Chains A and B, each alone.
Chain A
Amino acid sequence: MTWFLGHLPQLGSLLLTHAVLAVIPLLVGLAVALPLGWLAQRYRWLRAPLVAGTGLLYTIPSLALFVLMPLVLGTGILDPINVVIALSVYTVALLVRTVADGLAAVPDEVVQAATAMGVGPARRFFTVELPLAVPVIAAGLRVAAVSNVSVVSVAALLGIAQLGSLFTDGFARDFVDPILVGIVACMVLALTLDVVILSLSRVLTPWTRRGRTA
C-alpha cells in the first residue's frame, strides 16, 4: 500500500500509456476488420480464406511479433508504433470473423427490403447492415479490448514502459508490491474499457432494449 501511494504519479503515466497502447490498435483493427468482414460476408468464396487467414495471425506469439515488427517496418526496437501495429494485427484477427458473423446475422428480408426501396449498396451498408450488426461487433470488440490490455504488458520485455513494466520491475527486484498493483491496474483498465464499449453499444442500439408490448 505504501509502495502504491508513493508511486502514484508514475503509476498514472504508466496506466495512461497502457491505455493508449491498447485502445489505438482497437480502433485501427476495427477500421481494417470492417471492410475485410464485409468482403467475407459479401463474397462467399472469400469467407474461408479471410476468416481463417486473419484468425491464424492470432497464433503468432506476441513477443515474436513485437521483435519482428522493427525488422518489417524499419522502426527502432523501442518505438511504441511496433506495439500499436502488432496489437492491431491481433485485433483484426479477432474481429474479422465477428464482423462477418454480425453482418450475416442481419435478416435477409431487411436487406432485401432496403434494396427493393432503391437504397444503394454503400448507403445500405452504413444505414442498415452496420447498425444492425453493432451488438455482435461490440461483443467481439469487448474480447479484443481485454485481450489487448493483457498483451500490451508483454511489450515491457522490450523496454516499452507501461503497466507491464511493473511486472518486470517487481520480478527483477523480487518485490511483490508492484506486481500486485500492476495486476489490479490492468484489471481496472480492462473492466473500464469493457464498460465503455458496452455502454456505447447500448446507446447505439436503443431498439434492442424495448420489450415487445403488443
Chain B
Amino acid sequence: MINLLGVTKVYPGGTTAVGDLTLAMPTGQTTVLVGPSGCGKTTTLRMINRMIEPTGGRIEIDGVNTADLEPGELRRGIGYVIQGGGLFPHRTVLDNIMTVPLLLGWDRRRAKSVATELMERVGLTASLARRYPNELSGGQQQRVGVARALAADPPVMLMDEPFSAVDPVVREQLQDEFLRLQAELGKTIVFVTHDIDEAIKLGDQVAVLRVGGALAQLAAPAELLADPADDFVADFLGHDRGYRGLGFAAAPALPISAEPVVALGASAEDARRVAAGASWLLVVDDASAPVGWVRPSALSGRVEPSDLHRGGTLARLGGTLRAALDAALSAPSRRGVLVDDDGRLVGTVRAADVLAEIEREPGVRP
C-alpha cells in the first residue's frame, strides 16, 4: 500500500505542481494517475521514489515514511519505466536488464539467468540479448524497459507514460501484455498517462487530477464512466461514455441463434442454397473460425477470400456487452458473431437482444 498524505510540491517560483494530495494506492493493484498536462501526475509519480522531494506532506510505502530511507536504497526497491524505455544506449539488452540486480550485488550468473527469463516473459526472443537498444524497434525497447524494471522483483512499479511513444497497434499489444503480466505478478503499480482510454483499460482504480495537482475523482473505471464527479471529469472522459461503460459489463446469457455457414472454397450454388434467400452468409475456415461475410447473390464461382466482407468484429462468448453490441453493429448482416475461447463459431446475436439486456439492467454495473 502506497499512501500519499497531504502531499504538496510547490516550486521556488511559487507554482504549485501538486497541492495537498491524499491518495491510497492498494497493494497488488494498478492505480492510474491521469489528467491534462500540468496536472502534476508525473511530479506525483516522481515524489514516490524521491526523484522529486515533496515540499509538504508525506509518502508512506507499507507504513514506512519514504523520507526516512536513503534515496538510492528506496529506488532500488522500486521498478521504474519511462516513455521510450530510457535504456542505456551503450549497454546490450541483457546488460540493461541486469542493471539493478548487479547494483544489489547479485553475482553475474544469477543476474543473467533472471534477465534471460524476464526477456522471455515480456515477449522478447533470446536472440536479442546481445543487441544494443538502437537495434530494436520502439515496442521492443519498451519491453526491455519493463523487463529492466522487473529485474530485481520490486513490489512497487512506477510507470511514466510507458506506452506513449509507440504506434497505436503496438501500444495496444503492450497494454494487453501489461494486463497479462500484472495478472501473473500482482505488483503495486502507479501508472501515469494522459490517455483516458489507456487509464480505463489498465487501471484497477483511476485518479483523475486537475491542473495544480488536485484530485478530481478517484474511482474504478466503470464507476468513473457511469458517474463522473463533475464537469471537468465528464469532459475529460470524453464522448461515448455510455458505450464505453458497456466494456465493463459482462454479457449475461444472450439469446444466441445458430448461424448457417459455408466453408471457404464452397461453390456459389451451395452458398445460395445454404443462405436460403438471406442477403448475407457467414463463411468459416477449416477450424470453423469465422472469416467474413459474403453476398450469395453476388457470387459467380467458388467462395474466395477476395469475396469476403471483413468489417464485422467478433465477440467472445462470456465477454462484455460492448463487444457483443459492437459485433452486431459492425456485421453487414447486423447479426453479431460470437466465438468461443479457441475462436470457433458459437452463433450470432442481434443488437436488439443486447439492448434489451442493457435495459433490463439499468446503468453500468461496476
Write the residues of chain A forming the contact surface with B, with a CB cutoff of 8 angstroms. 107, 109-110, 112-120, 128, 131-132, 205-207, 210-214
Contact = CB atoms under 8 A, between A and B. Distances in A.
B305 interface: no
B73 interface: yes
B90 A115 contact: no
B76 A117 contact: yes
Contact of B51 (A112, A120, A131): A112
Nearest to A119: B103
B135 A118 contact: no
A190 to B, nearest CB: 29
A80 to B, nearest CB: 38
A214 B140 contact: yes
B134 A112 contact: no
A115 B51 contact: yes
A214 B86 contact: no
11 contacts: A107-B89, A110-B86, A112-B82, A113-B82, A116-B75, A116-B80, A117-B76, A118-B75, A118-B100, A128-B88, A207-B89
B86 A118 contact: no
Interface string B71-94: 111111010101111111111000
A36 B140 CA distance: 38
Contacts of A131: 90
Contacts, number: 73
Task: Give the dominant DSSP class at B's interface.
Answer: mixed
A114 B88 contact: yes
Contact of B49 (A116, A119, A205, A214): A116
B217 interface: no
Interface string B240-261: 0000000000000000000000
B10 interface: no
A115 B131 CA distance: 23
A120 B86 contact: no
A211 B132 CA distance: 9
Q: How many B residues are at the interface, by size bracket? A: 20 to 34
Contacts of B76: 117-118
Given A116-B51, A214-B140, 13 more contacts: A110-B87, A112-B51, A112-B82, A113-B80, A113-B87, A114-B88, A115-B75, A116-B78, A120-B72, A132-B89, A207-B134, A212-B134, A212-B135
Contacts of B15: none
B137 interface: yes
Nearest to A132: B90
A118 B73 contact: yes
Nearest to B91: A207
B333 interface: no
B164 interface: no
B75 A213 contact: no
Interface string B14-44: 0000000000000000000000000000000
Most buried by B among A109, A131, A214: A214
Q: Lowest 3 A-B CB distances belong to which pairs?
A: A113-B86, A118-B76, A118-B75
A83 B103 CA distance: 44
Contacts of A210: 131-132, 134-135
